[in-house]
A = this chain, B = another copy of it.
Amino acid sequence: MQTRIAILGYGNIGKAVEQAVLVAEDMQLAGIYHHNDNLDAIDADVVALCTPTREVPAFAAQLLKRGIATVDSFDIHGQIYDLRSQLTPIAKEHQAVSIIAAGWDPGSDSMVRALLQAIAPKGITYTNFGPGRSMGHTVAAKAIPGVKDALSMTIPLGTGIHRRMVYVELAPDADFATVEKQLLADDYFAHDETHVIPVPSIDALNNVAHGVNLVRDGVSGCTHNQRFEFNMTINNPALTGQVLVACARAAVRMRAEQRHGAFTMIEIPPIYLLPGDEEQLIRSLV
């Protein structure tokens, strides 16, 4: 039987979820909804919340109260546990499941970090992002007066240190030196090495590629110098959309097992993310 999945929000991520659903044999698209639509109209087993991250908590609560499972890629790291605490009692009361922070970071990277900490408990994990666009920094740059459009690229320098390459398309009459000074003083940029570069068109630079280099050098038992590295270079919305679909599958499975509540990806068995026969998966992957 197929899982009926609806999409709420139809930006980059919503479109990527649609593509991932259309090629998933165990999924059936149960509608695409705008975030201004009436949520009561949604009839689905699970809803992928592809709205801006700050709108996720309210939409998730509303759907969970109707017993509908939700998945989201809420990405404000410092607030993920609080969101889980907020949604857990609602999900439990309505026999529903919510999988939160289901993207690649937070998300699949979190699973790798948890695994590496388990198998080398002492040590430091460095997550190096990019090269790729930072949404938060791009929004901050766009908010500077005199900036018509902007793009902030995150460049990994290792050991979790990043350079910000900020491309700005100036408004007519804007003064670059003034824009640059104000941007460098902004709290988003003041703590990192930041370069501001004027360009004639931000649109010409558009690219949704991103990457991660996650490194752990740790200790297993009393043996030091255990070295681990996880790298990826990916299309950002395509990966996020695929992770959401994988987590939608896990949410439905957990509800079938009466394991209600809100969960992050490190609380999910990896096999729940996969379609297909359990025996076949274990034989081919283990």
Contact = CB atoms under 8 A, between A and B. Distances in A.
Interface in A239-286: 239, 241-243, 245-246, 264-271, 273-275, 279, 281-283, 285-286
Contacts of A234: 220, 226-228
Interface string A75-109: 00100110010000000000000000100101010
Nearest to A250: B118
A6 B114 CA distance: 25
Contacts of A7: none
A91 to B, nearest CB: 16
B220 A20 contact: yes
A155 to B, nearest CB: 18
Contacts of A267: 269, 271
Nearest to A226: B234
A113 B231 CA distance: 14
B243 A223 contact: no
Contacts of A227: 231-234
Nearest to A275: B121
A20 to B, nearest CB: 4
A235 B264 contact: no
Given A229-B230, A235-B220, A242-B221, A108 B119 contact: yes
Interface residues of A, number: 66
A194 interface: no
Interface in A10-58: 16-17, 19-20, 22-24
A19 B223 contact: yes
B23 A222 contact: yes
Contact of A268 (B17, B110, B122, B269): B269
Contact of A239 (B220, B269, B274): B220
A135 interface: no
A243 B226 CA distance: 13
Contact of A117 (B120, B225, B239, B274): B274
Given A80-B286, A266-B271, A266-B282, 7 more contacts: A19-B223, A81-B286, A111-B115, A114-B270, A118-B273, A119-B243, A228-B234
